[in-house]
Amino acid sequence: MPPVPTIMSTPRFLKLFAILSLTAASLCLADATAGATDGITHERDIIYGRKYGMALVLDVLRPANADGAGIIVVMSGGWKCHDGPVDPDWYSQYLKQGYTIFAVRHGSQPRFVLPEIIGDVHRAVRFIRHNAARWPVDPGRLGITGGSAGGHLSLIIGTQGGPGDPDAADPVDRESSAVRAVACFYPPTDFLNYGAEGVSGMGTGPLAWCYPAFGPRADMPGSSRQYGREISPIYSVSARTPPVFIIHGDRDTTVPLQQSETFIKRLTGAGVPARLYVKAGAGHTWRDMESKIADGRMVTDWFNQYLRDQP
């Protein structure tokens, strides 16, 4: 008795199946090479850690002329992570000069407070270093940048980054979170002296809208001052701090210019190469600050000096 034809054995179904299979294969290929336009390969949402059932992710943008130097971009404002798509145009100055970009997203306030957010960024640097051969980048030629809260977190890594736990079960956590150079924009640096001596910036004054980021320790009598020191990069400056370049507007009312001025003074006192560029008439953020104007070129010049074997 001949087999009974079914819809799955008809020529029409087989043709449709073949088309769908080819389409699926094309989609898989497109996903693997997503963003490979104009010589830039863009890998999206790479998981560098997990907590409370949530994935921590970063994007990698690698230009065709990549030379092994990497720049970590902390995508943070008000300690809330930027959750939109990563646009390669934002980093055109870096990509044109051969830098591989790591755009890092961290856990955001109000769900997570500063010590947890800081831990995320340390984890991201360790993950990048552990997987450096994957892109590939030189683990000894990593710089970090960001603006405002992203600048603060960049300086935390610059001043507090260091060896991992050699006994950690996760090999990523055994890696160092140190970087070789920092360049950032208008960063908070000292929450205990915010704009003036003795003025608290821990979720008060111009940072009142960021109050949840600081968590309950900011209000605890007897411990708030120690907490402020822990989360303020100025108190971790040492001779081992990598070179730092800061751009800050002289009309910034959110993060006072004093924050960068006192930080640079502390760096130079420790013998660390440091430079502050004061942008006349600029407030807190300005248009195209990184990618299309001279500010971005100054940042790449700084990284060229300290991330490349021959500037």
Q: 106-123, pLDDT tens digit by residue?
A: 999 999 999 999 999 999
pTM here? 0.86
Q: What residue segments make up the domains of the chain, in order of their start?
A: 36-307
Q: Above 70 in pLDDT, residue 27? A: no
What proportion of the chain, given as a percentage, has pLDDT over 70? 84
Task: Give the pLDDT band (50/70/90) at residue 297.
Answer: confident
Q: What is the total residue count of the chain?
A: 311
Burial class (CB within 10 angstroms; exposed 0-12, middle 13-18, buried 19+) of 297 = middle
Torsion of CA 252, 72, 200, 289, to 10 degrees: 0
Q: What is the C-alpha separation between 58 and 120, in angstroms, rounded?
A: 11
pLDDT tens across 30-54, in order?
Answer: 333 344 457 999 999 999 999 999 9
Q: What is the C-alpha separation between 185 and 178, in angstroms, rounded?
A: 19
Sheet containing strand 100-104, edge to edge, reads 40-51, 54-63, 100-104, 70-74, 142-145, 181-185, 244-249, 274-279
pLDDT of residue 169: 97
pLDDT tens across 149-168, in order?
Answer: 999 999 999 999 999 999 99
Give the residue carrying structure tokens 């949402």.
45
The three-state secondary structure class of 9 is: helix
CATH class of 36-307: alpha beta
Q: Above 80 in pLDDT, residue 296? A: no
pLDDT tens across 249-288, in order?
Answer: 999 999 999 999 999 999 999 999 999 999 988 888 766 5
Tell which wins on pLDDT, 292 or 209. 209
Q: Above 50 in pLDDT, residue 8? A: no
pLDDT of residue 282: 85
Q: What is the C-alpha separation between 181 and 143, in angstroms, rounded?
A: 5
